[in-house]
Structure 1
Amino acid sequence: MTIFNLPESDVLGLLAGVRGMSDDTGIDPAEAFARAAWTCIAEPGDGVAGLVVNTLGAAAALRLVLTTAQPERWEAALMEQGEAADPEGEALRVESIAGGIERWRPRLNSVDVVRAFGQARRVSAQLVVPGDALWPVQVADLGQHAPIALWWRGIPDALRALDNSIALVGARASSGYGEHVAMEAASGLVDRGYAIVSGAAYGIDGMAHRSALASRGLTVAFLAGGLDRFYPRGHDDLLTKIAQSGCIVSELPCGQEPTKWRFLQRNRLIAASSNATVVIEAGWRSGSLNTASHAAEMGRPLGAVPGPVTSPSSAGCHRLLREYDAVCVTNAAEMAALVDDDGGSGDGQAGAGTNVADRSGEYTSDETRLIDALSTRSPRYSIDVARRSGLSVTTVTSTLAFLELAGAVAERENGWVLAPKARKGDARARQK
């Protein structure tokens, strides 16, 4: 038997290097390997990929895409398992499946999967999948947008601690006030038995992690790229310490670089894995509002720390308090009460249904992904852009046409390039 054109013995050998600490509970090796392969094939948050994997099983879905099965065959297989729904909640149509196939096929390369396993083993990264004892079951609230598998480095206790954790997030360009609040909040929450979750960015994130470590607590950092490429680079030492006494997690395999789109998708994991999210300091269009949006959509308690009304660094927090029903919190005790009291809202639905991230910016999510995949110097053909962005070639072609009209990209004789001004564009929801 072969899996992804690899002999079963090779598959078992690859898994042996990354499954030692996952506390697996009899997970089929073929299923675990296929889920790892899907992290190389589909972009984070791909709802169609999540649906077919969860409905058919990762191995069966992988076989279908490898055998170049037509969308109708996928639809029939899904219907055999019961009625399926696409990310918008309607019956999964042939068009949705066809779009998914176009996105995945440019990445069907077993060499890339083998390389990802090798790099994971080199840095002592582990693979955890649904059904494992270490799997954070709360991410199921993301539905078909939940991660297919997760890669992690650290100690198992930190991953288990996500069951009792609070996310502290905020601006990269933080003030002394914001960093002081983050330090006191993380320390106080650790004293109350909570693990601290954040994104390891500069500013508030970094301070929250450092304070948790200094208080000898557990902290978990979610990254937007592979675990072999720490980002930001200035936090190499911090992330190394987290990996030693806490945990770093990513749904992307080793070798993958962070992009703006992946930061936005990473934010949903921060919100989903935590019992509550607190925004300590944020500008009007901070990426922290994207994390807050995900927390609100899942009905998770959401808190915001007020700041000086004259400070742009607190404008996003004030916006959450005024427009999105976030709870005003000023210290660790009030942040802990978000979990204990359901945020004082009665139903835990702070700002439910309001997508904060969609309230500003000019680029759509597809446009953001294409801009991330392009270079100002090296022209790239549409098929290469599709592979890098995780979008179908059809979507890439049509979206590039719109971006060209807007002056954001240009077509050269040997491919597409990014206009310098596009990098300075005001994306829909900036990464932190």
Structure 2
Amino acid sequence: MTTGTGQEERLARAALTRVFEPGDERGGRWLREFGAVGLLARLTSRDDERDQLTGAGEQRLGGYRRRAAAVAPERDLSVVTALGGRFVCPGDREWPSQLDDLGAAGPIGLWVRGRPDLRIWSLRSVAVVGARACTPYGAHMAASLGAGLAERGWVVTSGAAFGVDGSAHRGALAAGGATVAVLACGVDVAYPPGHAELIGRIAEQGLVIGELPPGDHPTRSRFVLRNRVIAALTRGTVVVEAQYRSGSLATARGAQRLGRFTMGVPGPATSGLSAGVHELLRGEGVLVTDADEVVELVGDIGDLAPLRRGPVLPRDLLDPVSARVLDALPARGAADGRAIALQAGLTADEVLGRLYELHSLGFVERHGDVWRPAARATP
């Protein structure tokens, strides 16, 4: 078991993951005020101690108390242990401290499947998220980014959903790299069911994590709230295809609020699936097209993407004076040395020497006393 948190505190936090929904700031404030053990005691105690829990109406507080009365944290911990997993709490050596940036909305704890150390992996992690109903282009770009980041020693984090998420995970796995799936359900629940095999592979080769206890199923709100963990856990978020209303954009905006890097992969201007990404890029998002450009942004000083330029032509290798003489030749027809010198603004002798040099390189042809560009010369 992960060390750093006492057993009583661990049991209380495990129990509270069944009481409060992810991101419940009211519960987060109470947790800070009373501690996990104290908060659980107040939720399950007599009325005079319950009155210390301010800021919630009777109906809401009654819901918390009914949930608290039904918790069985020992059973949940046994379930996750049987899966080869664990429950990681703030204060544990494995706890990623960057999650504390979420403040009162931070996770009570994280249920984890997989052998690697979550804190270590999170130090070099990038989120790759995007549309579920992505295009073949989006799937290709997500897989390429996942593989490229993994090959460069970065952990690819996503939500295990259909579309971009799944492609990013598969790209990382295919490269033999590291990937983390952040679920909006219990880590023993394969959702979506069509990704059961993929989630199993991630648990074997990487990490599957979530805030919800074993057996819990996802809801619409839990998907939205899951995104804040993806944003906080990683150094930056890359969005590959997203419409204007997209959970992926919520992840990117959450990353921006937390001071993380936000990036987007451009697509066709006519594609509705790229419209949200383009809106992100019009703001504070940074345009990226491959893993090198992502690493240049989120990595250490010196992790620079290779210089991008078109093909180098033979003419590009000429010195400035020779290029000036070549430019002075007429596009059609021929000219003698004096006319070329006048056009180039050089002496006749200097131009003549350059012309013979250009002739030897195949750029010009000589016909008696006149010169013309060689018909086969590369422009």
TM-score band by shorter chain is 0.7 to 0.9
Higher relative contact order (CA 8 A, sep 6+): 1
SS at the partner of 1:57? helix
Q: 1:338 to 1:69 in 2, by over 3 A?
A: farther
Deviations 1:293-320 (A, max 9, x none): 2111111110011100111111110111
Q: One-letter code of the match for 1:151?
A: W
Distance, in Å, in 1 between the alignment partners of 2:260 and 2:60 is 30
Distance, in Å, in 2 between the alignment partners of 1:159 and 1:234 is 29
Name the structure 2 match of 1:358.
none
Distance, in Å, in 2 between the alignment partners of 1:228 and 1:72 is 33
1:335 has 2:294 as partner: yes
- Select 2:106's aligned residue among 136, 140, 146: 146
Which ranges of structure 1 fall in alignment gaps of 5 or more residues?
A: 1-19, 76-93, 343-432
CA drift at 1:120: 2.3
Name the structure 1 match of 2:122.
162
SS at the partner of 1:41? coil
Q: Given that residues 128 and 240 in structure 2 are in contact (C-alpha distance below 8 angstroms), is that contact kept between their aligned partners in structure 1?
A: yes
Deviations 1:303-349 (A, max 9, x none): 01110011111111011112x3111111111111221389xxxxxxx
Name the structure 1 match of 2:210.
250
Q: One-letter code of the match for 2:182?
A: F
Q: Given that residues 18 and 71 in structure 2 are in contact (C-alpha distance below 8 angstroms), is that contact kept between their aligned partners in structure 1?
A: no
Q: Rg: which structure is higher?
A: 2
**Residue pairs, 1:194-213, within 5 angstroms:** 194-213=154-173
1:317 has 2:277 as partner: yes
Q: TM-score, normalised by structure 1?
A: 0.66
Q: Given that residues 132 and 164 in structure 2 are in contact (C-alpha distance below 8 angstroms), is that contact kept between their aligned partners in structure 1?
A: yes
**Residue pairs, 1:119-130, within 5 angstroms:** 119-130=79-90
CA drift at 1:69: 4.1
- Select 1:261's aligned residue among 202, 210, 221: 221
- Select 1:60's aligned residue among 13, 38, 58: 38
- Select 2:68's aligned residue among 85, 88, 108: 108
CA drift at 1:179: 1.2
Which ranges of structure 2 fall in alignment gaps of 5 or more residues?
A: 302-379
Q: 1:220 to 1:159 in 2, by over 3 A?
A: farther
Distance, in Å, in 2 between the alignment partners of 1:31 and 1:112 is 14
Q: Given that residues 302 and 338 in structure 1 are in contact (C-alpha distance below 8 angstroms), is that contact kept between their aligned partners in structure 2?
A: no
Q: Given that residues 115 and 207 in structure 2 are in contact (C-alpha distance below 8 angstroms), is that contact kept between their aligned partners in structure 1?
A: yes
Distance, in Å, in 2 between the alignment partners of 1:128 and 1:313 is 37
Distance, in Å, in 2 between the alignment partners of 1:293 and 1:103 is 31
Percent identity of equivalent pairs: 43
Name the structure 2 match of 1:220.
180
Q: TM-score, normalised by structure 2?
A: 0.75
CA drift at 1:114: 4.4
Distance, in Å, in 2 between the alignment partners of 1:189 and 1:268 is 21
Name the structure 2 match of 1:237.
197
Distance, in Å, in 1 between the alignment partners of 2:24 and 2:17 is 10
1:33 has 2:3 as partner: no
1:326 has 2:285 as partner: yes
Q: How many residues align?
A: 301
Poorly superposed stretches of 4+, deviation over 6 Å = none
Distance, in Å, in 2 between the alignment partners of 1:221 and 1:198 is 5
Name the structure 1 match of 2:134.
174
